Amino acid sequence: MKGAIIGDIIGSAFVNDNLPTTEFQLFKPTSAFTDDTVLTLATADSVIHQKPYKETLIEWTQRFPEAGYRPDFLQWAMNGGIEDYKSEGDGAARRISPIGFAASSIEEALTEAKKSALITHNVPVRLEAAQATAVAVYMAKSGATRKEIKRFISVHFGYDLNLNVTHWKSKIHSGETLSTPVPPAIAAFLEASDFEEAIRLAILIGGPSNTIASITGALAQAYFKHIPKAFIKRALARLTPDMESLMENFETAKFQEKIIEGQK
């Protein structure tokens, strides 16, 4: 999960930029957490403390109402989620990585990701994006090879993962709209040799850089098992104490049982 938050913070300063190379300053004075981080932490809170996903989504949004949410989502959360809400945005996939890290099987990752996504994104393409992200993170942290991850996600979700970072960068900057940021985020992960390169490639793609880098960051953490200490230190400096505490508690937690019995 830490990788997702770092990706969001770094990517926040590059949204819609068209960078020529991967040689750029990673952390800028304007680098900050966004709603991606807040809602990722909300999911982690559910996983650790056995709380319903909807409850923590509302709680964390109300705690940090100025993190950059879609206006209709913010209104829904600030009103306590009393009405049904359905978004066409990418929020489900970008908040889902804690489920992938905590899941004990592919089946559990699929089931829990759908439960979480249904609350706000009851749209097939969004549900699938959340499930694909959770499963890819689960497989990466469980020792699957990148070839195995690529094959599984391609077969089960129909994503063309033969498309590389250069393709996605060209697609975005030609004005095309992504149906989901998950395939380009996975592409950056598949091409990288370590965590830092994964983040740099994700941001090079352009478009919603914080969201793409957040998904890529989660995958890179799960697969490479290492994040440079300097990245962690700089990211922590941009979080509040309660955010930092929850993140660290999640990173050190041992998930032995089913993720959240309280989600029934």
Which residues are documented as binding site for Mg(2+)? 34-36, 211
Identify the residue whose tokens are 């660290």: 248
- Which residues are part of a known binding site? 34-36, 211
39-73 burial code (b ≥16 CB/10 A, e <16) = bbbbbbbbbbeebbbbbbbbebbeebeebbbeeeb
Determine the angle formed by the axes of helices 2-11 and 241-252, rounding to 10 degrees.
140
Contact criterion met (CB below 8 Å) for 112 and 137: no
d(CA 115, CA 47): 12
Contacts of 26 (CB under 8 A, 6+ apart): 10, 196, 199, 200, 231
C-alpha separations of 116 from 97, 99, 204 in Å: 11, 9, 29
CA 181 to chain centre: 10
Q: What share of the chain is helix, strand, coil (3-state, %, to 5)?
A: 65, 0, 35
C-alpha separations of 205 from 92, 155, 216 in Å: 21, 24, 12
Count, residues in the chain: 264
d(CA 133, CA 101): 11
